Amino acid sequence: MADRLVCRECHRVLEAADGEQCPNCGSTSLTEDWAGYVIIAHPETSDIAEEMEVDEPGKYALKVR
């Protein structure tokens, strides 16, 4: 998973096919420097999603540099 990119704005873990722009928030600020991730399936009922301010299901990095 180390070769995947993460959006610095919304922390979404991106697949290689996503290109150079985050499909979640539209940011082009992507990085390979991140650690840990969480999969959020139901953001509307998740305390973690609320804390991370996530409103879309998906994979999110816990720490982004």
Residue set of the binding site for Zn(2+): 7, 10, 22, 25
Token pair for residue 59? 């994979």
Please state the φ and ψ torsions of residue 49, each to the nearest 5 degrees. Answer: -60, -40
- What is the spatial distance between Cα 3 and Cα 53, in angstroms, rounded to a whole number? 25
Residue set of the binding site: 7, 10, 22, 25
